[in-house]
């Protein structure tokens, strides 16, 4: 999935569950930003699940967001591409 990919699915009435693929600003590893929200998107701070560095992601201002590692992404696949 390309960086910035967004998938919406039904959550509670009036809210959309969202997932975005983002890349760590320090190590460039992809991870998912997951949460809900309906309002205008603003810059939110999000911690990378790999290196715990802060990253900025655009997210609805009324929504909670958290980062999670992508299960299929491993160190071996990262080093194989270099």
Higher pLDDT, 69 or 3: 69
For the chain, how far is it from start to end, CA to CA, in angstroms? 19
4 band by pLDDT with thresholds 50, 70 and 90: low
Q: What are the extents of the domains in the chain?
A: 6-80
pLDDT tens-digit series, residues 23-79: 999 989 999 999 988 888 889 899 999 999 999 999 888 888 889 888 865 555 444
Q: pTM, whole model, 2 decimals?
A: 0.62
Q: What's the order of all strands across the beta sheet hosting 16-23? A: 6-10, 16-23, 30-37, 65-69
- pLDDT recorded at residue 2: 43
- pLDDT recorded at residue 47: 92
């Amino acid at each position: 999935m390309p960086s910035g990919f967004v998938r919406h699915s039904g959550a509670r009435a009036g809210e959309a569950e969202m997932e975005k693929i983002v890349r760590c600003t320090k190590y460039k590893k992809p991870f998912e930003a997951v949460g809900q929200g309906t309002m205008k998107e603003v810059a939110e701070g999000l911690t990378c699940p790999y290196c715990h560095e802060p990253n900025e992601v655009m997210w609805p201002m009324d929504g909670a967001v958290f980062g999670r590692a992508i299960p299929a992404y491993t160190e071996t696949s990262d080093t194989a591409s270099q």
